[in-house]
Structure 1
């Protein structure tokens, strides 16, 4: 009888131990799922006037919330750098990061690229074609009546740029000027503006001799002032730049990452969704992407960083 009691006691203890292990495992799974936010926070870089961006993103906030079946809060970042830091500190979940900023965010904070934007290519007059592409170009814009004929003529000139993490608004033009023997920081007079449209208008209004912008920025600015097209010209077009990303902070569950990917791709498949996305960033659709797609940018970023170290 004593042996039977001992056996029964051991069986009960074993069963309780297994149950405890099982509950611990369930607890870990539950914690992993609960680490996903109850409200998804999404942020945008002000590629055009920040005030107008606030209005443009509201319809997308509603569409994404319906797709994900959860609340979504969308805002416009002060700068690209603040967005990167917010993703790193996990106060932000998803960012529409330009490719150069994504490379930085991935290196520093393990930010994950979910999607890469597709845009229509442009013809010589900056009109859209039907062909979609995963890359775009930086442009250096000057006044049409300017005597600036080449990058070398920018020496000593006032140049409107975006912040230093912007591929089209800073990195590519600055690096390619350096290849021509012109040091942006030492040989020119750069100053920062918020939004490519503001860069174009700085040229139109005579506040800058040139501006670093993305291809198509003139036509966007022309919606508010036709002089953005009639009074300016493109001095220089860069080598191809990878399109923007939709990137997620480190720590979101793979399940939520996939839901976000699918949600944006589904939105882009509808007529209304495409109109909303186009109105914000001129995105026409999205494709899945990975870190390797942005490898060529690392060299440009390094060169730009070296340029800034020697100011």
Structure 2
């Protein structure tokens, strides 16, 4: 059986930040249009698919803007912020938490926001391989449109056969209190949906996340799900 989704939580927004750019004329800090810019981002694919994912984007932007747009792959969202601050990149595609840091540290400006299947945001979700412990009802299957993928949901997150955008919540969040003593796969501490919001949610449910759970560090959404699927973690 596919692993159920336990709880939809706080929203994290994918954003593009542009530092040193005049909002009224679209040019550089001195008002001149640059000959080239470098874009830093964290792709949603890995390995040999990187070029296939990145090249069409930079080619599209180069054609549309009439300048050279170079793409640089970052290891994580925090690295995109540092690339912006050191002027190694003039544009970054990052998450909400890193965008906030870029604004605070380097006066970045939000100029675009991602829209995926009609959704401009997504919710943090918790996966489990123990539905008897964390689900009030029988898990049902619904299609997550952004995949598209058919996933198992419980606690009323989605109706059976529904089309899901990955938005909503918080739902079923009270069950995080049942995670005491469990292994929990968590992503980088800079990830709003993969670490920050889940940790805050667990603490609001009375858990000491440093003592009451065993944190299993993972890199990326895929590895959080794999950790649950393989039994390395009870929740991801």
Give the alignment's TM-score, normalised by structure 1: 0.50
Matched, 1:152 2:149: no
Aligned position for 1:75? 72
Partner of 2:218: 193
The answer to whether the 8 Å contact 1:48/1:196 transfers is no
State the match for 2:91 in structure 1.
94
Q: Give the match for residue 141 of structure 1.
A: 127
2:57 is the alignment partner of 1:32: no
Deviation at 1:168, TM superposition (A): 0.9
Give ranges in structure 2 of 5+ residues lacking alignment: 1-27, 136-174
Two-structure CA RMSD over aligned residues (Å): 2.5
Alignment counterpart, residue 38 of structure 2, candidates 9, 28, 41: 41
Counting only pairs closer than 5 Å after superposition, residues 243-254 of structure 1 correspond to structure 2 as none
Do the aligned residues in 2 keep the contact of 1:61 with 1:73 (CA within 8 Å)? yes
SS at match of 1:143: coil
Higher share in helix: 1
SS in 1 for 2:81: helix
Q: Which residue of 2 aligns with 1:110?
A: 107
Show CA shifts across 1:269-301 (max 9, x none).
xxxxxxxxxxxxxxxxxxxxxxxxxxxxxxxxx
Deviation, 1:205, is: 1.3
CA distance in 1, matches of 2:56, 2:65: 15
C-alpha distance in 2 between matches for 1:115 and 1:47: 18
Residues 73-110 of structure 1, C-alpha deviation per residue, up to 9 Å, x if partnerless? 11221111111111112111111111111111111111
Q: Say whether the 8 Å CA contact 1:40–1:93 is kept in structure 2.
A: yes
Q: Which residue of the other structure, out of 181, 199, 203, is the alignment partner of 1:178?
A: 203
| Cα 1:46/1:154, change in 2 over 3 Å | farther
Q: Give 3-state SS (helix, strand or coil) of 1:185's partner.
A: coil
Establish whether residue 202 from structure 1 lines up as the match of residue 227 from structure 2.
yes
Cα distance change on mapping 1:179 and 1:51 into 2, 3 Å: farther
Q: Which whole-Å CA distance do the structure 2 matches of 1:144 and 1:163 have between them?
A: 24
* Alpha-carbon distance between aligned partners in 2 of 1:68 and 1:33, rounded to the nearest angstrom: 16
Q: CA deviation at 1:194?
A: 2.0
The alignment covers a number of residue pairs equal to 171
Query: 1:50·1:195 contact (CA, 8 Å) conserved in 2?
Result: no
Which one of the candidate residues 41, 58, 61 is aligned to 2:58?
A: 61
Gaps of 5+ in 1: 1-29, 121-131, 212-311
Distance 1:53 1:139, change over 3 A: farther
Cα distance in 1 between the residues matched to 2:200 and 2:104: 21
Task: Give the C-alpha shift of residue 55 in structure 1.
Answer: 2.9
TM-score normalised to the size of structure 2?
A: 0.64
CA distance in 2, matches of 1:84, 1:116: 17
Structure 2: distance between partners of 1:53 and 1:161? 24
The structure number with the bigger radius of gyration is 1
Superposition deviation, residue 144 in structure 1 = 5.1
SS of residue matched to 1:163: coil
